[in-house]
Amino acid sequence: MNEHINFDCFLGKRIHLGVCGSIAAYKSLDLLRMYRKAGIEVSVTLTDGAQEFIKGLSFEALGAFKVWQKMFPTVDDTFGHLEPGQAADAMVICPATASILARMTHGLADDMLSCQALAFNGPKLVAPAMNPNMWNAPATKHNCAVLAERGVEFIGPDCGDVACGDHGKGRLASLESIYVHGLRAVSPDDMCGKHVLITLGPTREKWDAVRFWSNPSSGLMGASIAMAAWLRGAKVTVISGPVNWWFPEDMNVIKVDTAREMFDAATALWPECTTGCLTAAVADFKPIPHGEGKFKKSGRENLSVEFDTNPDILKTIGSMKRDDQELVGFAAETSNIRESAKSKLEKKNLDLIIANPINLPGAGFESSTNSVYVLDRAGRNEEWPNLPKTEIAWRIWDLLLQN
Ligand code: CTP
């Protein structure tokens, strides 16, 4: 489930990918594909070690516009060691071996990648992969501390089984993680300083030991909004109903089941947030529980279930909103979209509302795209064409930041 990280609004950006000699080198091919899909240009440098595992041709075939494999290339490329520093927006070294970390620490410039890293002043990210003993060696620890101090960003390594059969810290971080950290390095940081609270997914209201009342919300819209805010530098707290989206480690994710649990978590956190975006499809009603254990049908043909109301989280948060906070809400509608959006914007004290028809093809609960009508407090309104939810997420923050 990674649709929420499929952003493709990075045209004009370039990442320089450094690949070192590790069994994990083949994974950098997938990373290249992911960045290309996001619209990012990718250039590549393979160290001699990397070329023992993987060929430059594979990177060229997958869309790298330039691949360096030697320290002293051709006459028309005399300054290849400086070029990424002049033209790329970020450098991602994946996998990074103990050797490249040591060479970067000491400013050695004895191969193409270490020269390019030394001459690169932009954001540098490294995703180490090595045997746990090499990772835990005092020399590597010292080198990593020096590099981190200089602003090099480390992604992983993770704990787990490594190629030689050992177990410990040294596995390459997940590609999702390396990918989104690279995206963040080339994203605007216009949400830096904001603390964003997001609710997403359905809620589940238990009736007996095996049955519950819920809805088919996938949570994709909220997960995309959370990722867009994180990429743009915000601190993000997600309150998630029972769906399983992958999020970066430094995102605070609180798992809940019921509307009441979501309400308690959201109202407790809201005072410390600057911005709220409540996308969850909260069950407005909950069945009055049948009692302990599983309800037995025992010859019945009809069944009536009584319902109680759940609190309106967005309305409550809206009533608590201070002047220095901004609140975005959603409206799921089957008719009268504009009127309902206006009425919910006012009733719930929102700054922006995103209304979507849940009964059209390509929109609503389980779709990866949506067609929305947006309306802000000042009366500005727009109808957006059918778009991927990731693009809607990005545009929502664009719009809010313009206010
Ligand atoms: N919402 C909420 N708590 C609820 C119900 C809704 O926080 N108990 C939030 C949703 O996350 C969404 C907005 O309120 O941001 C609107 O939800 P929607 O289901 O469209 O509207 P309701 O207010 O529930 O009204 P109705 O179902 O009558 O249209």
- Indicate which residue's Cα is closest to atom 9 of ligand 1: 314
List the CATH code of the domain at 3-186: 3.40.50.1950
Max Cα–Cα distance, the chain, nearest Å: 87
Report the separation in Å between the CA atom of 290 and the middle of ligand 1, taken as the mean of its atom positions: 26
Task: Write out the chain's pLDDT in tens, 403 residues.
Answer: 699 999 998 999 999 999 999 999 999 999 999 999 999 999 999 999 999 999 999 999 999 999 999 888 776 788 888 899 999 999 999 999 999 999 999 999 999 999 999 999 999 999 999 999 999 999 999 999 999 999 999 999 999 888 888 889 999 999 999 999 999 999 999 999 999 999 999 999 999 999 999 999 999 999 999 999 999 999 999 999 999 999 999 999 999 999 999 999 999 999 999 999 999 999 999 999 987 889 888 878 888 999 999 999 999 999 999 999 999 999 988 889 999 999 999 999 999 999 988 777 777 777 889 999 999 999 999 999 999 999 999 999 999 998 7
Q: Where are the domains of the chain?
A: 3-186, 195-284+308-402
Q: Which of 269, 282, 320, 342 to mutate to test the pocket of ligand 1 (most atoms within 8 A of CB)?
A: 282
Q: Is 164 a catalytic residue?
A: yes
Cβ(331) to ligand 1 under 6 A?
yes
Starting at the edge strand found earlier in the chain, the sheet holding 195-200 runs 252-255, 235-240, 195-200, 275-278, 326-333, 352-357, 369-376, 381-388
Q: Is 355 in the pocket of ligand 1 (CB under 6 A)?
A: no
Q: Which CATH architecture has domain 195-284+308-402?
A: 3-Layer(aba) Sandwich (3.40)
The contacts of residue 344 (CB under 8 Å, 6+ apart) are 329, 331, 350, 353, 355
SS3 readout for the chain: CCHHHCCCCCCCCEEEEEECCCHHHHHHHHHHHHHHHCCCEEEEEECHHHHHHCCHHHHHHCCCCEEECCCCCCHHHCCCCCHHHHHCCEEEEEEECHHHHHHHHHCCCCCHHHHHHHCCCCCEEEEECCCHHHHHCHHHHHHHHHHHHCCCEECCCEEEECCCCCEEEEECCCHHHHHHHHHHHCCCCCCCCCEEEEEECECCEECCCCCEECCCCCCHHHHHHHHHHHHCCCEEEEEECCCCCCCCCCCEEEECCCHHHHHHHHHHHHHHCCEEEECCECCCEEECCCCCCCCCCCCCCCCCCCEEECCCHHHHHHHHCCCCCEEEEEEEECCCHHHHHHHHHHHCCCCEEEEEECCCCCCCCCCCEEEEEEEECCCCEEEEEEEEHHHHHHHHHHHHHHC
Look up tokens 């480390």; give the residue.
Answer: 154
- Which candidate in 94, 159, 164, 273 is catalytic? 164
Same fold across 3-186 and 195-284+308-402: yes
